[in-house]
Structure 1
Amino acid sequence: MAAHFGRRLRKGVATATLAAAAVAALSASQAPGLTDTGTGRQRTDTPAADSDTDPGATDSSYYTDLPPLNSPTASPSPGNGDGNTGDTEAGIPATVLDAYKKAEAALAESKPGCNLPWQLLAAIGKVESGQANGGRVDANGTTTGILGPPLNGNGFAKITDTDGGAYDGDTVHDRAVGPMQFIPSTWESWGSDGNGDGKRDPNNIYDAALAAGRYLCAGDRDLSVTSQLHAAILSYNHSREYLNTVLKWLEYYRKGTHEVPDGTGVLPNNRSDDSEGPSPSPSPNTPDTSKPSTPGTTKPGGGTTSPAPNEPGTGSGSPSPSPTPPTSTDTVARLEDAGTGELTAMAGDAFGERVSVRAESASGVGVPKVRVRFTIVGDTDATFAGGETVATIVTSATGTATAPTIQAGEKTGDFTVRAAVVGRTLSGLDYTATVTERQADTLVRTSDTELTCTPGGEFANDVEVKATYKGAAADGVAATATLITSADDATANDKGPYFKDADGNPVRTLANLETDANGLLKLPKLYADDTTGTFLLRINTAGGATLTVELKVAAATTS
């Protein structure tokens, strides 16, 4: 995914049109968290409400071409021959289109409240990579060579290598990778397997489209709400121009699209990192022979950008650039705990404590505006609020970052919450969190009717109890019921009242019972043998709640 600092649009009509459209769009609906900085800014991880003040992130250029003014028709019609007008722009390569639609279907099942339209993925894919470089993918949907420039702080954000070059081939700085332009550290958090091959590959359009959809749906976003749609796009790239460009393509694709063969998609021409548009403009996949070529960065569309001033390939007569000032992230020396308490919750409940850490400099001063990634690790179905297992929070003025509330699932046991600084190779902090089984601390009968029966008969009233925990109904709590020998002997009695199993045989212990959603537990019907007297039924729950109920078996009285 892309983010862009100091970008300038091509001069002329395109610039004026885009600026006017951006102002109009933002005047009509100011997106949450939008700041008027004049530079593009993008988060690389969870765009949660807590982190809407994220001041910076990754950096890569994007295509600024806008869709044609004429709406696409129901069926494609020829353009005017230049391959960039008419309905040709509405054509999306077959495999790329299939990936977008499969991602929409997957998110409709896993996060139905998000209402992600596949046309949004298409709009972002168009802007980020020209639909995977015009649909140049192999049979599995994998692309090659779609890389952003090195994020070395020269005209871009500075992000030192976080993946050992595994995704972007760069062991010095990170680069945006693949058709949806994911930064390696972002992919590490959000990477997905969209085609079911057991791999998570940012260069695969199926994997990248699903990951982008999950990223856009982070938290509790509902993309059918305009403000939340804008917030999602801005979380991908915090820029007025980027928001406006994506919205234009979203509107265009919603009016109609059609499938075209892979490799035949229209390639955009204009990029946000071009200070001057060439005249005449060569096609993105046609070499420009008007000037000598110099080593540069591979770009979507097959072109290259000129190297930054301090990169190899610069003329020897160029003036030396000023040293790049260190970023906030560069000054972090360590992460320290910031008062995190014991992390324990019952299954299905929210954790009462939240993980809190502090980014500190070598001198022990808190460092603000640093991104800290919190990750839930281990065999657990616990998630952060919103259903994600990763959340990135920006440190406050005191250097503190607090993770979102953790919601326990149904799996009990321990798991790990890991905190790490994004963009630095520093030791992180691991916290052990524990999910215990659901518990009850109190059991009471729901009726005070005496439970009586004649020998050989059946009890007229069933036993029903209510379980609570700290005064609230305790749902899903495991329980057992045993007809015990005596108050001091909890072993099962061999005479007196009994339950029946599926075959009608007497049983005096019932296990694997569970309270319902209201904390209620209703036991099966009780029967009596020929023994008279007072008997005891004991009910125990997880958490230690116990209730002993009297059962009386006596011969019927006669007047």
Structure 2
Amino acid sequence: MAAHFGRRLRKGAATTAVAAAAVAALSASQAPGVTVDDQGRQASSDSTPSPEDATDGATGNSPYYTDLPPLNSPNPSPGTGTGQATPGTAEAGIPATVLDAYKKAEAALREKKPGCNLPWQLLAAIGKVESGQARGGRVSADGTTLSPILGPQLDGNGFAAILDTDDGAYDGNSTYDHAVGPMQFIPSTWEWAARDGNGDGREDPNNIYDAALAAGHYLCRFGWDLSDQRDLNKAILSYNNSTEYLNTVLSWLEYYRKGTHEIPDGTGTLPEDRSDDTIVRPSPTTSGTSSPKPGPKPEKPAGSSPSPKPTPPPGTGSPSTPPPPTTTPTPTDTVDHLEDAGTAQLTAMAGDAFSKRISTRAETDAGKAVAKVRIRFTIVGDTDTTFTGGESVATVVTNSTGVAVAPALQAGEQTGAFAVQATVVGRTIPGVAYKATVTERAADTLVRTSDKALTCTPGGEFAEPVEVRATYNGVAADKVAATATLIKSADDPTANDKGPYFKDADGKAIRTLSGLTTDANGLLKLPQLYADDTAGTFLLRITTAGGATLTVELTVAAAETTSPSPSPTPSETSGT
């Protein structure tokens, strides 16, 4: 979370009671089956662990704002020119650029992951709880915060202990991590969740467009459907693993769903209370055990003065400047380079899954395998190929042999070459680039679906249509490009100038059809064939991408006439 927004105001007892009742109601009605441990963290079996250390959540379980929305509805939105706002509309207002970022992220996820059903109001609820909508909308025209929004140092002092993973690149601290930006991503999560939401070619956690799109993808992983309450709860808890956080976000989600409106940037209402405004102290129970419960921070007695600082012994340093902590190198710290772990040639036909997967090995300087290291695989280049699930970025942890295997690649319709870049999350060492190619859809075999002879009288039309089936390796070849030509001879594939023909849109004779495509079952049915006055045997040649060829024989001949049988002679009938 960001630092405190100005001087804090303490809410009255009545407001506190109402807020507590609202949270309790939401907990009972919208978070079924959720229990908490003795630190208020979610402990339900419904939670799905993330391969990216979801126990730390997107934010490293950093502090968040606990203000609840007003109980009165934000509807109706304030009218223009009235000079008055109805109760609750101040809280319902969302700064224009911030609101635009949420709606653009929803639209992007609707296209990329339609099954997720992400509402922009959920991003608004999380943005409110994490940063007060980017400090009330203090952002530039491109969505970048006017000053950095940093959470507290995650040094284990009341928060999670997360040693530095980005060398201070995002948070300016090379010892411990901080949550960063309006959606409060910790650097290690941002490394794999980052997105470019405003199209400037950068992935900046301090930009609301980038951060909102990243948050949307984060909430939509694991195939969650956010229109389902259980999946919605799991997604929110994966962002910050606390039931109080869940209930607070759900409160704002419901509030924004009732109505909201755009306000100028920089004029948003700033939150007042944060989750770290309380301390945890034991409270006796009837069983004789104790469990920690939050209570107000102790205040100094009136008129008291600070205790004098102890005088350090001669020759020692000041107690206010303790020595830097000694840390044990993490597996990531020991990685010197990445190596290809036997990845084969990456080629797939458009629309197909790649049969081979990318394997990368993390090694020390001495060539020893390094386990438990995050490897980030990023698809780069002009391509619509994705990993399974529709993502262009995937993060995989190396196994005991130091190898990370990327998810399978799914080819799109765009052909050509692209690359997949493998890098170590949290380290700035050279990565490994894997070249991949998508080829056009192809067929290797063509056969007719009927064995009837194709015949016609001069000037007539063929009664039997020409239909063929295309296959590739024995499987129906769908959406394969094909061409049909009435050729001069088996040795001369140029178009004939006489014999059977097709008709164009104007009814004129044509003898070559291009731009044909097989259907989902690999079938191709040609248009009606006609014959001119030339009799004889003619050839129709059909070819497809991939080299499949079929030559079909067409016969144009006059209809046979049947002559009457001669009358028998008298001698033949007399029997003599």
TM interval, short-chain normalised: 0.7 to 0.9
3-state DSSP of counterpart to 2:537: strand
Are residue 326 (structure 1) and residue 329 (structure 2) matched? yes
Distance in structure 2 (CA, Å) of the matches to 1:511 and 1:336? 46
Please say if residues 443 and 547 of structure 1, whose CA atoms lie closer than 8 Å, have aligned partners that are also in contact. yes
SS in 2 for 1:431: strand
CA distance in 2, matches of 1:55, 1:219: 15
- Identity in percent: 65
Alignment deviations for residues 250-284 of structure 1 (CA, whole Å, 9 cap, x no partner): 34444555655543433334445667576679xxx
Partner of 1:146: 148
* Number of equivalent positions: 504
SS of 2:543's equivalent in the other structure is strand
Q: Name the SS of the counterpart of 2:223 in structure 1.
A: coil
User: Whole-Å Cα distance in 2 between the matches of residues 323 and 127 of structure 1?
Assistant: 34
Is contact 2:337–2:362 with CA below 8 Å preserved after alignment?
A: yes
For 1:136, the equivalent position in structure 2 comes to 138
Give the Cα–Cα distance (whole angstroms) in 1 for the partners of residues 90 and 555 of structure 2.
Answer: 85
The DSSP-based 3-state class of the residue aligned with 2:269 is: coil
Give the alignment of 1:379-418 within 5 angstroms: 379-418=382-421
Could you tell me whether the CA contact under 8 Å between 2:164 and 2:173 is conserved in 1?
no
With 50-59 and 113-122 compared, the bigger mean Cα shift is at 50-59
Call closer, same or farther: CA 1:385–1:327 in 2, change over 3 Å: same
2:500 aligned with 1:497: yes
Q: Which residue in the other structure is 1:366 paired with?
A: 369
**What does the per-residue CA deviation read over 1:455-504, in whole Å, with 9 as the maximum and x for residues that have no partner?**
23222222111112233221110111122233333333343222233444
Q: What is the correspondence of 1:178-327 to structure 2 with a 5 Å cutoff?
A: 178-183=181-186, 191-192=194-195, 194=197, 201-218=204-221, 220-238=223-241, 242-254=245-257, 257=260, 262-272=265-275, 317-327=320-330
**Following TM superposition, by how much is the alpha carbon of 1:365 offset from its aligned partner in structure 2, in angstroms?**
4.1
Residue 67 of structure 1 corresponds to which residue in structure 2? 68
Structure 1 residues 171 and 494: alpha-carbon distance in aligned structure 2, compared to 1, 3 A threshold: farther
Partner of 1:51: 51
Structure-2 change in CA distance of 1:361 and 1:252 (3 Å): farther
- Tell me which residue corresponds to 2:119: 117
| Residue 157 (structure 1) aligned with residue 159 (structure 2) | no
Q: Distance in 2 between matches of 1:131 and 1:191?
A: 19
Cα 1:272–1:503 change in 2 (3 A) is same
**Which of residues 459, 484, 488 is equivalent to 1:485?**
488
Q: Which ranges of structure 2 fall in alignment gaps of 5 or more residues?
A: 3-15, 79-86, 280-295, 307-316, 563-576
Task: Let me know the Cα RMSD of the aligned residues.
Answer: 4.2
Contact 1:444/1:467, CA 8 A, preserved across alignment: yes
Match of 1:80 in 2: none
2:349 is aligned, of 318, 326, 346, to: 346
The residue matched to 1:551 in structure 2 has which SS?
Answer: strand
After superposition, the Cα gap between the structure-2 partners of 1:476 and 1:208, relative to the gap in structure 1 and judged at 3 Å, is: same
Change (3 A) 1:233 1:55: closer
Secondary structure at 1:480's aligned position in 2? strand
What amino acid is the match of 2:121? Q
Describe the superposition over 1:337-386 as per-residue Cα deviations: whole angstroms up to 9, x where unpaired: 33323321110111112212222334544333321111111111101122
CA contact (8 A) 1:219 1:388 kept: no
Match of 2:378 in 1: 375
Larger Rg: 2
Could you tell me the TM-score, scaled by structure 1's length? 0.76
1:509 and 2:515 are equivalent in the alignment: no
Aligned counterparts of 2:30 and 2:253: Cα–Cα separation in 1: 16
Asked whether the equivalents of residues 483 and 508 of structure 1 are also in contact (C-alpha less than 8 Å), the reply is: yes
CA distance in 1 between partners of 2:32 and 2:438 (Å): 46
**Secondary structure, counterpart of 1:401 in structure 2:** strand
1:193-225 alpha-carbon deviations (Å, 9 max, x no partner):
656777765434344323322332346332112
Alignment check: 8 A CA contact 2:69 2:251 kept: no
Q: What TM-score comes out, normalization by structure 2 length?
A: 0.74
User: Do the aligned partners of 1:161 and 1:172 also contact (CA within 8 Å) in 2?
Assistant: no
What are the residue-to-residue correspondences of 1:32-43 with 2, within 5 Å?
none
Classify 1:232/1:496 alpha carbon distance in 2 versus 1 (closer, same or farther; 3 Å): same
Q: 1:525 to 1:23 in 2, by over 3 A?
A: closer
- Say if 1:146 and 1:134 are closer, same or farther in 2 by CA, change over 3 A: same
Higher mean C-alpha deviation, range 529-538 or range 57-66: 57-66
Higher relative contact order (CA 8 A, sep 6+): 1
Q: 1:339 to 1:54 in 2, by over 3 A?
A: farther
1:215 alignment partner, SS class: helix
Q: Distance in 1 between matches of 2:322 and 2:449?
A: 86
Deviation at 1:432, TM superposition (A): 1.2
The residue number in structure 1 matching 2:83 is none
Q: Taking structure 1 as reference, are residues 264 and 506 closer, same or farther at Cα in structure 2, changes over 3 Å only?
A: closer
Query: Secondary structure in 1 aligned to 2:127?
Result: helix
Deviates more, 1:206-215 or 1:439-448: 206-215
CA distance in 2, matches of 1:346, 1:120: 38
| Structure 1 unaligned blocks of 5 or more | 3-12, 42-46, 78-84, 282-289, 292-313
